[in-house]
Amino acid sequence: MEQYVAGLEQTLQQVLFSNNSDQIKEATKALSTQFFADANCVPALVHIIQSSTQKEIRQLAAVELRKQITNWWAKLDLEVRTNTKARLLEIILNEQEPLPRHSTARVIATVGRIEIPANTWNELLAFLFQCSNGANAGHREVGVYVIYAIFEVTDAFADNLRQLLELFNRTIQDPESQIVRITTVQALGKMADFIEEDQKDEIAMFSELVPHMVNVLQQCLNDSDEESAAKCFDVFDTLLLLEIPILSKHVQNLIQFFLSIGANTTFEPVMRVQALSFIMWAIVYKKTKIQRLKLVGPMIQQLMPIAAEEEPEDSDEDSPARLAFKVINTLATNLPPQQVFPVALEGILAYMANADPLFRKAAMVTLAVLVEGSVDFIRPKFNELLLIVCAGLQDPEANVRRAACMALSSFAEEFDEVAENHATLLPLVFNLMNEPTPEITKQACNALDAILEGLGENILQYLTELMQKLLIMLDNAQGETRAIVVAAIGSAAHASGSEFTPYFPEVIKRLQHLMTLHSNEDELMLRAVSTDALGAIAAAVGKDAFRPYLNDLMNLAMQGLLLDNTRLRECGYYFFAGIAQVFEDEFSPYLAGIVPQLIASCQLDENTTRFDNETGDQDDIDGEDTAEDLNYVFRSAIADEKEVAADTIGEFFQHTRTAFLPYVESSVKELVNLTTHMSDGVRKASCGALFNFLRTFYKISNPADWKAGLPVAVPLHDNVAQLNTLVMPSILSIWEDEDDKMVVVQLCQEMVETLKLCGPGIVAEHINTIAEHLNLIFEKKAFCQQELADDEGLLDEDEQAEFDALLISSASDLVGALAAVLGENFVEYAKIFIPHIAKYYKKSKPTSERSMAIGCLGEIAAGMLSGVTGFTETIFPIALKGLSDEEPEVRSNAAYTVGALCQNTTMDISSQYPALLTALYPLFQGQNLDNVTDNACGAVARMIMRHPEAVPVDQVLPVFVSALPLKRDYEENEPVYKLLFKLIQNQNAWCFNNMPQLLEIFANVLSKEDELKPHTRQEMVELVKALNQQFPAMNIGASALAPYLQ
């Protein structure tokens, strides 16, 4: 045994101290094949830990012993196990060096994980209490650290929580040792995972320790002990995530404490960043508590001065100012904008007037980060805010101009109104693109890219100047700016469509060259963005112009997949999806080479990045360890790649259809697996792709038109039904447990689109489950709406974050879609949903929610047909009131709802027609939203068809016809022209007296391909032919309608 121990120790020394890599490999192999293949390694390693004079050897021996305990403990004799346990307790008391002591503590924890549940090491807890309560500070450190280590790996002490909390109440106030106090905080962090919701006494005891934990962190900061402070910060972050209310009564004090750290410029930036990070997560997980305590305003007021500090040059480096912006963004996206934006705007206006450019820059960036969660609330103030941004774009200081570009980019991503102000904004952006400062040029190009996305045909007046400028910049810019220029060229192509073709030759030769770059990260980024942009360019110029370059570009993009760069693979997938959309069947030959790559991306393993809890405590010499020893950091780059791969798979099937059938089975398998991925983006993409598969399968199944109602009258094709048995259960399963609101929003939106196409067969077996999920959303009890721990009931429903409102809106869209596919069978569900929906129409609600409520009631009224009768008295007064709402979007939806209700209810409401006509009349003139008048036309048409005797038709028709043709909401062409056809067929005098006007309207709509449904178009053509035959004097053959007489 002595020779074995000596050989083992010598081999460990070679691993640690040899400078020869071959010797290290040989030694590592010897450990594995000679020494650790024998149970004697356990007592041998114990001996080395106890006897070696080298602390590095003692530590490494302890690290390896921990792993070998797992492998060999059960095979050791009882005497050896008993002796080992006793010696380990001796060793740790005598060890003076922190790292070997910590590693030995972890060995004890590993043994304890096995022995304590078996009641074969009952003396351990007594030993630890004795150490922790002892007079020797070193022993107290050992006792608390071993308890901490045990909580890291096992719940073995879960039955002793109360005793341990009493112990920690003493050790966290240790009068002598800061190490004891810090380790107690760490142990509390681990212990918290084992406290259950019903352990009220333990929760209360733990909560009483929070002020002491704060004191420990404060002392670490005062001592400039960054490493220990970081450990304390981690514990507070952990406590935020618990489903027990440990921090509940301390939220206000904690917010103030961490804000004070964030604002204290005497502390190191890394400490301030961690404090502000806690604030950010507190907003996410304690938002109701923060609202109830009215902390939002004071938080913003304390954050904005931090935001006005200098930022480091490295854009990837966190700083207090950058964290302050992240916290403000988190406030904007998680809390009601009514509570966030007014306070922030007050600060923005004050800071813009400040002589210090850092304050003006802070104002611009604050505005940029506020937009995301405040779009609807901001919209009425858009013009005022745009003036502020324009002032920033022209500020004398470069940093302010750069920040203003960021604000403009944020605005352009969220507001269509930015594109409408192109005449003001683009000249300012063009000027900034000419500046010599690279950072300004880069941000100006970013802003330009965002504006171009929504510019549409308005781009044409700028296109020549724009492309000249972009091509010059592409040839001369450096680094990231060049990549942004390429992205802007792609956006210009998207906005200008076929008008981009004249610039295509100059662009393609440059981008094709960029797709060959691969020497460094900057070149790979440029190659990636160029690949992505060419997908948009192909869609703009069309397949004929692009075809000569197709094969070469496809080969370059496929070569890019083989380079080890996730961003390049993502952009390659974007490119392939764009090309598949343009070339459709012609893309099919490329599927065999690309789909396996997509599947491989879906299967990538993310559990590869190591995060060590103990600085310098190396747990491994050969890269292998037990799962319990590892904490994994999520690799978002791989998640992003999976997200894009899932989207692309869905688009491939959509565009190549039957050619993709050989890949459906393997693709669906991977997509279903990804629905439970840890990344919300991957879950959204995989669910979207699965719904896309359903819709595509349905389209290629040559289906008959579905019919509303249950049981299903038109069954799904067998292939669609079989796929549906995989997809819907997966979707509903993740919905139940989904914690991210935007994933649920995506599920609802995808289900709405799928229902509209495929009908009731998709959900026939799942209606009750879907209804239950939707009801939970309206009751704000869905899993994704729940906050952790301690909030006492709901807040005022009139104020909620806009992302929360988007969830309600998406749920209401799904309610409307269900009504459409179930028809009169929706009545029982309407009894549940209509009361929920109706409460969102009241003056105190924001425009988006009032519009949602009335729109959803309209969809229900339209979908349920006569089933809506029992709800007429609920819906009618809301719709009538909505016709005079101050917001045009609400008035438009109200007009649609009035029409749908009048058309379908069997209750005679003709006595209300005068009031309705009076309320509808103003909607025919001076509306700044076209679909207000369009929906008013639809409402009047439905009213006349339902009760012609209750409408003064000849008085109404002049106003009605003057609003035609419809400008935007072409769905309403159905009732409008159905009415006109009927009136003409019934020889209505007004119609015949005004036939030239009507024929002109018919010619207008027939000339547009997308404004009439096929059957309505056919009926209109037949009517025109009949009129031409019956009334030759109308001379229709000499009018614009002549082509339709053939």
CA distance 943 to 916: 9
746, 753 Cβ separation under 8 angstroms: no
Domain carrying residue 361: 336-454
Mean of pLDDT values over 929-946: 96
CA distance 371 to 375: 6
User: Considering the domain boundaries, does residue 377 fall inside one?
Assistant: yes
Q: Do 418 and 382 belong together in one domain?
A: yes
CB atoms near residue 806 (< 10 Å): 20
Binned at pLDDT 50, 70 and 90, residue 795 comes out as low
Q: Classify each residue of 100-136 as buried b or exposed e, where b means 16 or more C-beta atoms within 10 Å of its C-beta.
A: bbbbbbbbbbbbbbbbbeeeebeebbebbbebbeeee
User: Considering the domain boundaries, does residue 1041 fall inside one?
Assistant: yes
Q: Do 347 and 449 belong together in one domain?
A: yes
Binned at pLDDT 50, 70 and 90, residue 257 comes out as very high
CATH code: domain of residue 395: 1.25.10.10
Does 715 sit behind a cis peptide bond, omega within 30 degrees of 0 on the bond before it? no
Mean of pLDDT values over 921-932: 90
Residues 6+ apart with CB under 8 A from 218: 257
Q: What is the pLDDT of residues 222-242, one digit of tens each?
A: 999 999 999 999 999 999 989
With 90 as the cut, is the pLDDT of residue 293 above it?
Answer: yes
Q: Classify each residue of 562-576 as buried b or exposed e, where b means 16 or more C-beta atoms within 10 Å of its C-beta.
A: eeebbbbbbbbbbbb
User: Considering the domain boundaries, does residue 396 fall inside one?
Assistant: yes
CA distance 566 to 642: 10
User: Considering the domain boundaries, does residue 954 fall inside one?
Assistant: no
CA distance 36 to 811: 59
With 60 as the cut, is the pLDDT of residue 422 above it?
Answer: yes
- Secondary structure of residue 632 in the 3-state scheme: strand
Answer with the one of 454, 478, 494 that is the final residue of a domain. 454
How many percent of the chain have pLDDT more than 70?
Answer: 96
942, 907 Cβ separation under 8 angstroms: no
1011, 966 Cβ separation under 8 angstroms: yes
User: Considering the domain boundaries, does residue 667 fall inside one?
Assistant: no
CA distance 910 to 282: 56
Q: What is the pLDDT of residues 636-692, one digit of tens each?
A: 789 999 999 999 999 999 999 999 999 999 999 999 999 999 999 999 999 999 999
Q: Do 251 and 288 belong together in one domain?
A: yes
Cα dihedral 206, 207, 212, 216 in deg (nearest 10):
80
Q: Do 392 and 315 belong together in one domain?
A: no
With 90 as the cut, is the pLDDT of residue 796 above it?
Answer: no
Answer with the one of 399, 426, 454 that is the final residue of a domain. 454
Q: What is the pLDDT of residues 865-911, one digit of tens each?
A: 999 999 999 999 999 999 999 999 999 999 999 999 999 999 999 99
Q: Do 323 and 340 belong together in one domain?
A: no
Contacts 24+ apart (CB under 8 A), 103-106: 103/59, 103/62, 103/63, 103/66, 103/617, 103/619, 104/49, 104/62, 105/142, 105/145, 105/146, 105/148, 105/149, 106/62, 106/66, 106/149, 106/152, 106/153, 106/619
The residue among 655, 513, 643 whose CA lies nearest residue 579 is 655
DSSP string, 341-377: HHHHHHHHHHHHT-SSHHHHHHHHHHHHHHGGG-HHH
**Encoded tokens for 1008:** 């547009």
Binned at pLDDT 50, 70 and 90, residue 927 comes out as confident
516, 473 Cβ separation under 8 angstroms: no
Q: Do 270 and 319 belong together in one domain?
A: yes
Q: Do 427 and 406 belong together in one domain?
A: yes
With 70 as the cut, is the pLDDT of residue 388 above it?
Answer: yes
Q: What is the pLDDT of residues 1020-1029, one digit of tens each?
A: 999 999 999 9
The residue among 18, 126, 119, 11 whose CA lies nearest residue 60 is 11
185, 239 Cβ separation under 8 angstroms: no
Give me the pLDDT at residue 608, please. Answer: 41
The backbone region for 605, taken as left when phi is positive above 0, alpha when psi lies in -120 to 50, beta otherwise, is: beta
Q: What is the pLDDT of residues 486-498, one digit of tens each?
A: 999 999 999 999 9
Mean of pLDDT values over 395-421: 95
Q: Do 402 and 324 belong together in one domain?
A: no
With 70 as the cut, is the pLDDT of residue 932 above it?
Answer: yes
Q: Do 428 and 445 belong together in one domain?
A: yes
User: Considering the domain boundaries, does residue 201 fall inside one?
Assistant: no
Q: What is the pLDDT of residues 36-51, one digit of tens each?
A: 998 999 999 999 999 9
Place of tokens 């991210």: 740
Q: How many structural domains are present in the chain?
A: 3
Residues 6+ apart with CB under 8 A from 343: 296, 297, 300, 301
User: Considering the domain boundaries, does residue 1035 fall inside one?
Assistant: yes
The residue among 641, 679, 485, 669 whose CA lies nearest residue 561 is 641
Q: Classify each residue of 649-676 as buried b or exposed e, where b means 16 or more C-beta atoms within 10 Å of its C-beta.
A: bbbbbbbbbebbeebbeebbebbbebbe
CA distance 734 to 743: 10
Asked whether the CA dihedral 1012, 1015, 1016, 1019 is positive or negative, the reply is positive
900, 862 Cβ separation under 8 angstroms: yes
User: Considering the domain boundaries, does residue 182 fall inside one?
Assistant: no
**Encoded tokens for 445:** 């190009």
Answer with the one of 299, 328, 357 that is the final residue of a domain. 328
Q: What is the pLDDT of residues 551-596, one digit of tens each?
A: 999 999 999 999 989 999 999 999 999 999 999 999 999 999 999 9
With 60 as the cut, is the pLDDT of residue 527 above it?
Answer: yes
DSSP string, 660-690: GGGGHHHHHHHHHHHTT-S-HHHHHHHHHHH
Residues 6+ apart with CB under 8 A from 416: 454
Sequence letter at residue 949: E
Bridge partners of residue 632, in order along the sequence: 610
445, 484 Cβ separation under 8 angstroms: yes
Q: Do 372 and 444 belong together in one domain?
A: yes
Q: Do 321 and 344 belong together in one domain?
A: no
* Range in 259-263, 288-292, 787-791 with the lowest mean pLDDT: 787-791
Q: Do 281 and 311 belong together in one domain?
A: yes
What does the angle CA 208 – CA 212 – CA 215 come to, to the nearest 5 degrees? 150
CA distance 872 to 6: 91
How many percent of the chain have pLDDT more than 90?
Answer: 87
CA distance 965 to 682: 44
